[in-house]
């Protein structure tokens, strides 16, 4: 028998706020977090806007001497994990430590440290490069730091699958618990690449919006006038537990994870397959893993990046999988408010789905003023919508054609 897996904690560091409760409230209010870039002077770049975390109080989470050993993406991941563990109430003991693990990934990793120390090397020589440079930048050090912080000695891994990272991390953790390899997992994604090189690189690909004069309206998934995604930063971490253990300790349960799908388009290094074939297969795989029918799904948190082809292809894929029921679904993109957090997006969006199921409300897609005729589903425009959600789906699709999908269900003991 496969063990049942539930979500008992959520930690979010988003461009709307530090903290799950504040972020959730702002999402339901339909606020945009997109502004002109302040991390550096963006003048001269075609894209000068991003969704930066505005109020991150690092001293609340990490001692000063430890801060200097970590890149910003690790700061975010460690902070979000701390919030998730506090939220879950899960206590690590000598007896349970080996059954608790960590899978937290990033799409790119320590880009700001790489840029900084490359300049240091060129200007001041190799002796001025920090001995912590490598641990600052490599992707698995977020998982490592979380493991050290909480003393958890179970599986310790990291995923790096571009924009699908957070969802793959949670899906992989789900399977470890389901099959008995672990009893609880701290999992999700983190990212912090709003840097000169990061913005320049994505701009060169013509992937980013250049709506610099109206930043709050730049991220507009499914809208006819979208011109690219908006870079975001932050982290989303959830705590998963085997159901009986969670119930025995009296944990609050947000939702149950019931299905996970992952596959590849095998088509292009950055573009999704034009017919949505890979994304559709991924959603079908998650449905089969959960043992449910398409018409049982109530809400989809879409990948919905605000790119021309991405939004249309995801819509096509949803219609392939759900047929007529696609028009009865609520489908929204919270990237319309917080931008695209790359490797962190799936972690944040899984937490949002769990909160949506638990609270019975769907966050909106803002800036959907002139719908693209090819995007003809119910994208919950402008305002959050109360909805009794039994089953929710979260989609993530990444560069390299990598796809991930998880399914969450309202928790019931039976």
Q: What is the pLDDT of residues 186-217, one digit of tens each?
A: 999 999 999 999 999 999 999 999 999 999 99
Nearest to 152 by CA among 104, 103, 102: 102
Query: 12 pLDDT exceeds 90?
Result: yes
**pLDDT average, residue stretch 347-360:** 98
Nearest to 231 by CA among 20, 39, 11: 39
Query: 395 pLDDT exceeds 90?
Result: yes
- Which ranges of 235-307 does DSSP label H, i.e. alpha helix? 243-248, 277-290
Residue pair 209/47 in contact (Cβ under 8 Å)? The answer is yes
For residue 414, the model assigns a pLDDT of 82
**pLDDT average, residue stretch 243-260:** 98
Nearest to 28 by CA among 360, 376, 350: 360
- Considering 187, 282, 303, 375, which one is annotated as catalytic? 303
**pLDDT average, residue stretch 386-396:** 98
**pLDDT average, residue stretch 366-371:** 97
Nearest to 315 by CA among 379, 244, 404: 379
Residue pair 45/199 in contact (Cβ under 8 Å)? The answer is yes
Query: 1 pLDDT exceeds 90?
Result: no
Share of the chain above pLDDT 70, in %: 100
Q: What is the pLDDT of residues 297-333, one digit of tens each?
A: 999 999 999 999 999 999 999 999 999 999 999 999 9
Separation CA 200–CA 122 (nearest Å): 20
- Which ranges of 195-274 does DSSP label H, i.e. alpha helix? 196-204, 243-248
Q: Which residues contact 203 (CB under 8 A, 6 or more apart)?
A: 45, 46, 47, 210
> What CATH code would you report for 5-248?
3.40.47.10
Write down the mean pLDDT value for the chain: 97
Say how many C-beta atoms besides its own lie within 10 A of residue 1's C-beta: 4
Residue 175 binned pLDDT confidence (cut-offs 50, 70, 90): very high
Domain 260-409 has CATH 3.40.47.10: yes
The one-character DSSP state at 70 is: S
Residue pair 213/323 in contact (Cβ under 8 Å)? The answer is no
Residue 334 binned pLDDT confidence (cut-offs 50, 70, 90): very high
Q: What is the pLDDT of residues 73-90, one digit of tens each?
A: 999 999 999 999 999 999
Query: 230 pLDDT exceeds 90?
Result: yes
- Which ranges of 99-140 does DSSP label H, i.e. alpha helix? 111-124, 133-137
303 included as an active-site residue = yes
Residue pair 138/319 in contact (Cβ under 8 Å)? The answer is no
For residue 107, the model assigns a pLDDT of 98
Residue pair 76/61 in contact (Cβ under 8 Å)? The answer is no
Task: Name the pTM for this structure.
Answer: 0.98
Nearest to 207 by CA among 186, 193, 189, 190: 193
Query: 36 pLDDT exceeds 90?
Result: yes
CA atoms within 13 A on the CB side of 109: 16
Q: What is the pLDDT of residues 105-157, one digit of tens each?
A: 999 999 999 999 999 999 999 999 999 999 999 999 999 999 999 999 999 99
Burial class of 386 by CB neighbour count within 10 A (0 to 12, 13 to 18, 19+): exposed
Domain residue spans in the chain?
Answer: 5-248, 260-409
Residue pair 167/405 in contact (Cβ under 8 Å)? The answer is yes
The helix-helix angle for 196-204 and 111-124 (nearest 10°) equals 110
Query: 288 pLDDT exceeds 90?
Result: yes
330 included as an active-site residue = no
Residue pair 158/222 in contact (Cβ under 8 Å)? The answer is no
- Considering 47, 75, 163, 168, which one is annotated as catalytic? 163
Equal CATH topology for 5-248 and 260-409: yes
Give the β-pairing of 330-332 and 299-301: parallel
Q: What is the pLDDT of residues 41-79, one digit of tens each?
A: 999 999 999 999 998 999 999 999 999 999 999 999 999
Say how many C-beta atoms besides its own lie within 10 A of residue 153's C-beta: 16
340 included as an active-site residue = yes
- Considering 75, 340, 353, 405, which one is annotated as catalytic? 340
């Amino acid at each position: 028998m496969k063990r049942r897996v539930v979500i008992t904690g959520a930690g979010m560091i988003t461009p709307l706020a530090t903290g799950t409760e504040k972020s959730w409230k702002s999402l339901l209010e339909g606020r945009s977090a997109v502004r002109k870039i302040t991390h550096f002077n963006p003048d001269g770049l075609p894209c000068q806007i991003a969704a930066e975390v505005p109020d991150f109080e690092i001293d609340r989470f990490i001692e000063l001497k430890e801060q200097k050993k970590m890149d910003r993406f690790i700061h975010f991941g460690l902070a979000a994990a701390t919030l998730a563990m506090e939220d879950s109430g899960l206590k690590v003991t000598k007896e349970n430590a080996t059954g608790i693990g960590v899978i937290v990934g990033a799409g790119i990793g320590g880009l700001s440290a790489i840029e900084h120390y490359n300049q240091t090397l060129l200007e001041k020589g190799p002796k001025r490069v920090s001995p912590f440079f490598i641990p600052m930048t490599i992707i698995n050090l977020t998982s490592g730091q979380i493991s050290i912080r909480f003393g958890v000695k179970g599986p310790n891994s990291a995923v790096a699958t571009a924009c699908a990272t957070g969802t793959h991390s949670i899906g992989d953790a789900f399977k470890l618990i389901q099959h008995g390899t672990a009893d609880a997992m701290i999992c999700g994604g983190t990212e912090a690449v709003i840097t000169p090189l990061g913005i320049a690189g994505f701009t060169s690909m013509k992937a980013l919006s250049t709506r610099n004069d109206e930043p709050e309206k730049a991220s507009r998934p499914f809208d006819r006038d979208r011109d690219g995604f908006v870079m975001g930063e932050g982290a989303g971490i959830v705590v998963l537990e085997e159901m009986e253990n969670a119930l025995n300790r009296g944990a609050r349960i947000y939702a149950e994870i019931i299905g996970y799908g992952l596959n590849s388009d095998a088509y292009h290094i950055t573009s999704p397959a034009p017919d949505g074939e890979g994304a559709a297969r991924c959603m079908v795989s998650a449905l089969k893993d959960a043992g449910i029918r398409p018409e049982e799904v109530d809400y989809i948190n879409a990948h919905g990046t605000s790119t021309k082809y991405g939004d249309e292809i995801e819509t096509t894929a949803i219609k392939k999988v759900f047929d007529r029921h696609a028009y009865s679904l609520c489908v929204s993109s919270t990237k319309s408010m917080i931008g695209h957090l790359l490797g962190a997006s799936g972690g944040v969006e899984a937490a949002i789905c769990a909160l949506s199921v638990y609270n019975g409300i769907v966050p909106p897609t803002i800036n959907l003023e002139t719908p693209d005729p090819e995007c003809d589903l119910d994208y919950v425009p402008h305002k959050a919508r109360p909805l009794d959600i039994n089953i929710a789906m979260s989609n993530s699709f990444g560069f390299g054609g990598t796809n991930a999908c998880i399914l969450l269900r309202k928790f019931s003991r039976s």
